[in-house]
């Protein structure tokens, strides 16, 4: 364990959906185990200085640099990283068959998985994604490799072996529900063993503090037999610390195919709920075509939404726009997802920009329907990318902002680099720019070259700086 850390300088984080706290001259103290132990918001003349812990390593942020909380990516297909952006214009099931499944099939080879996951996890960290909820491929060994790599690199992550025992080509389909369930349980046990919790099922094995956690991952109802969905629901019932993620009401083609396979259910909420899959630890990706009934059910079941505007507006089924403002109004938890694969970017900054564009489109689409929905502001999408995602993953007590007691997952943003090789596309900071303006320039035009250091639990895990 290292020494305590101290950061002094500008810091920006969300207090809630609409309140961004912009601090020009703050001090954060981090314990050797990565917890925020003190946060002095102002060092104005006359304010007594915080006593610094003995042996602390003190970092002074130069003017123009600032700290933000790390980004939380609530929906990411790690094996699709090598195919980001491919297959534009295809409907979802055709895109899976033609573009995605051939790529995911490569992960039957552990050495390919190791090489690719090394690169992809490194890429996500460099872009400031300090927490990710990953779908692995359906291969158990590669899933364990993904968890190992997150653990070794120090990324906070949920890792799920993808379940798919039907409606996929033979070369990628699992051979029956029993095998799929057994391998899933083995992966859950293995991932828990990484944080020293290997044993026997039940809530006592679910370490709330573990950096890498398992997540049950039925790809979507179309790719799972009722027997498999039943077994996964039973796993969740046996262990209420286990999270679950799936694709939900993503596109017309997907909704029609789901109805044809499960004619007893009008609503996907009822379908997944009937198999015992929905609860407060459920992360539902996309949620673009939602009836009022679906929204009511998600609110009542306390499920979270992974809003993936890049994928929704490009691949999969045309221009789909999730009703995020309505989710928020109803108290449904919302985070953002790169959907790396269907989404063309590894960058939460890009997702935030597209979330704003999507919300503008939603306002236009809803015009005349008596809906007073407004677009999402910069403050709101920043909240969704940090605290919102933390809430969706039930990590709101641990990460999301710089509250004392939380863990220090953060990005040190620099807007001052003059190195030509590193010079970023960011709109230049000019004399007289306020910190708010600099922040706005970063969110709208910055990239990983502006992320000098990335920290998870106080450990430096990536960055463009030395
Ligand atoms: N539905 C089922 N699988 C997938 C996937 O890999 N990506 C997206 N966007 N939708 C899906
Ligand atoms: Fe997806």
Which range, of 74-83, 116-125, 426-435, 436-445, averages the lowest pLDDT? 426-435
User: Is the distance from CB of 279 to CB of 302 less than 8 angstroms?
Assistant: yes
* Residue located nearest, by CA, to atom 11 of ligand 1: 247
Which numbered ligand comes closest to the C-alpha of 219?
A: 1
CATH 2.30.40.10 domain position(s) in the chain? 5-69+409-462
| Ligand 1 atom nearest to 104, measured from its CA | 6
Q: What is the mean pLDDT of residues 56-74?
A: 97
Q: For residues 373 and 100, which has the higher predicted lDDT (pLDDT)?
A: 100
How many Å lie between the centroid of ligand 1 and the Cα of residue 315?
10
User: Which ligand has its closest atom nearest to the C-alpha of 306?
Assistant: 2
Q: 218 or 419: which carries more pLDDT confidence? A: 218
Question: What's the pLDDT score for residue 2?
Answer: 81
Residues 6+ apart with CB under 8 A from 430: none
Q: How many residues does the chain have?
A: 466
User: What's the average model confidence in pLDDT over 335-357?
Assistant: 96
pLDDT of residue 203: 42
Residue 327 tokens, joined:
């989710």
- Can you give the pLDDT at residue 315? 86
Mutate to test the pocket of ligand 1, among 83, 91, 92, 256 (most ligand atoms within 8 A of CB): 92
Give the three-class secondary structure for 88. Answer: coil
Distance 448 CA to ligand 2 centre (A): 23
pLDDT recorded at residue 50: 85
340 Cα–ligand 1 center, Å: 10
Q: How many CA atoms lie within 13 A of 145 on its CB side?
A: 23
pLDDT for position 202: 41
Residue whose CA lies nearest to ligand 1 atom number 1: 247
Kindly write down the DSSP assignment for every residue of 237-301, as one continuous string: HH-TT-EEEEEES--HHHHHHHHHH-TT-SSHHHHHHHTT--STTEEEEE--S--HHHHHHHHHH
pLDDT of 197: 54
* Average pLDDT in the chain: 94
Nearest-CA residue for ligand 1 atom 7 is 342
Measuring CA to CA, which residue among 111, 109, 123 is closest to residue 81? 123
State the complex-level ipTM.
0.99
**Angle formed at CA 128 by CA 123 and CA 130, multiple of 5 degrees:** 95
3-state SS, residue 428: coil
Nearest to 381 by CA among 357, 345, 409: 357
Residues 6+ apart with CB under 8 A from 412: 59, 61, 65, 66, 67, 451, 452, 453, 454, 455, 463, 465
pLDDT, tens digit (0-9, with 9 covering 90-100), for 169-221? 999 999 999 999 999 999 999 999 998 754 444 444 447 789 999 999 999 99
List every span in the chain annotated with CATH 3.20.20.140.
Answer: 71-392
- Name which CATH class applies to 5-69+409-462: mainly beta
List all residues 6 or more positions away from 255 whose beta carbon is below 8 Å from its beta carbon: 249, 268, 289
CA distance 290 to 369: 16
Name all residues whose Cβ lies below 6 A of ligand 1: 77, 92, 96, 100, 219-220, 247, 250, 311, 316, 339, 341-342
pLDDT digits (tens, 9 = 90+) for 270-312: 999 999 999 999 999 999 999 999 999 999 999 999 999 999 9
Which of 94, 220, 221, 306 has the most ligand 1 atoms within 8 A of CB, as the residue to mutate?
A: 220
Between 42 and 97, the more confident residue is: 97
User: If you classify domain 71-392 with CATH, what class do you get?
Assistant: alpha beta
Mutate to test the pocket of ligand 1, among 219, 257, 318, 345 (most ligand atoms within 8 A of CB): 219
pLDDT at 64 over 50: yes
- pLDDT, average across residues 144-153: 98
Distance CA 331, CA 16 (A): 13
Ligand 1 nearest-atom number relative to CA 286: 9
Structure confidence at residue 417 (pLDDT): 66
Ligand 1 center–CA 296 separation, angstroms: 24
DSSP state of 35: B
331 is written with which tokens?
């108290």
Q: Which atom of ligand 1 is nearest to the CA of 308?
A: 9
- Rounded to the nearest whole angstrom, what is the distance from the C-alpha of residue 325 to the centroid of ligand 2? 21
Give the position, in ligand 1's atom list, of the atom nearest the Cα of 339. 9
Separation of CA 263 from chain center: 32
Residue nearest to atom 9 of ligand 1 (CA): 342
Q: Does the pLDDT value for residue 16 go beyond 80?
A: yes
Over residues 19-30, the pLDDT tens digits come to 999 999 999 999
CA of 102 to the centre of ligand 1 (A): 14
Nearest-CA residue for ligand 1 atom 8 is 342
Average pLDDT of the residues in 77-90: 96
- Residues with CB in 5 Å of ion ligand 2: 339
Q: Quick one: which ligand is closest to 79's CA?
A: 1
Give the pLDDT score at 200: 43
Reported confidence tier of residue 367, pLDDT bands at 50, 70, 90: confident
């Amino acid at each position: 364990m290292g020494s305590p850390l101290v950061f002094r300088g500008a810091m920006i984080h969300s207090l809630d959906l609409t309140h961004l706290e912009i601090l020009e001259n703050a001090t954060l103290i981090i314990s050797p185990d990565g917890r925020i132990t003190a946060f002095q918001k102002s060092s104005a003349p006359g304010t007594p200085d915080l006593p610094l812990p003995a042996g602390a390593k003190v970092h002074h942020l130069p003017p123009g640099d600032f700290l933000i909380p790390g980004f939380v990516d609530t929906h990411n297909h790690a094996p699709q990283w090598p195919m980001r952006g491919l297959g534009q214009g295809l409907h979802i099931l055709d895109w899976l068959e033609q573009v995605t499944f051939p790529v995911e099939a490569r992960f039957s080879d552990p050495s390919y998985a190791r090489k690719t996951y090394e690169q992809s996890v490194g890429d996500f960290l460099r872009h400031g994604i300090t927490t990710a909820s990953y779908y692995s491929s359906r291969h158990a060994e590669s899933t364990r490799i993904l968890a190992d790599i997150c653990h070794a690199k120090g990324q906070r992550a949920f890792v799920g072996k993808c379940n798919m025992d039907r409606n996929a080509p033979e070369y990628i389909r699992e051979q029956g529900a029993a095998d799929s369930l057994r391998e899933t349980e083995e992966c859950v046990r293995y991932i828990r063993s990484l944080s020293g919790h290997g044993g026997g099922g039940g809530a006592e094995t679910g370490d709330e503090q573990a950096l890498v956690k398992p997540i049950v991952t039925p790809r979507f109802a179309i790719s799972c037999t009722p027997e498999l969905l039943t077994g996964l629901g039973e796993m969740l019932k046996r262990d209420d610390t286990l999270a679950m993620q799936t694709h939900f009401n993503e596109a017309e083609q997907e909704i029609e195919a789901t109805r044809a396979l499960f004619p007893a259910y009008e609503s996907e909420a009822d379908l997944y709920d009937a198999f015992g899959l929905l609860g407060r630890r459920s992360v539902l990706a996309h949620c673009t075509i939602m009836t009022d009934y679906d929204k009511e059910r998600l609110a009542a079941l306390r499920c979270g939404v992974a809003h993936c505007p890049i994928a929704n507006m490009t691949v999969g089924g045309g221009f789909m726009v999730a009703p995020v403002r309505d989710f928020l109004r109803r108290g449904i938890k919302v985070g953002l997802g790169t959907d790396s694969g269907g989404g063309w970017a590894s960058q939460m900054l890009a997702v935030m920009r597209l979330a704003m564009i999507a919300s503008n489109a939603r306002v236009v689409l809803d015009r005349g329907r008596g809906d007073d929905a407004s677009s999402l502001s910069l403050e709101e999408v920043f909240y969704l990318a940090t605290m919102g995602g933390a809430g969706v993953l039930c990590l709101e007590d641990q990460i999301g902002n710089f509250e004392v007691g939380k863990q220090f997952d953060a990005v040190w943003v620099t807007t001052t680099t003059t190195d030509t090789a590193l010079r970023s596309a960011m709109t230049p900071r000019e004399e007289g720019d306020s910190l708010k303006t600099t922040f706005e320039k970063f969110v709208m035009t910055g990239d990983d070259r502006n992320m000098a250091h990335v920290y998870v639990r106080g450990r430096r895990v990536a960055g463009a700086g030395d």
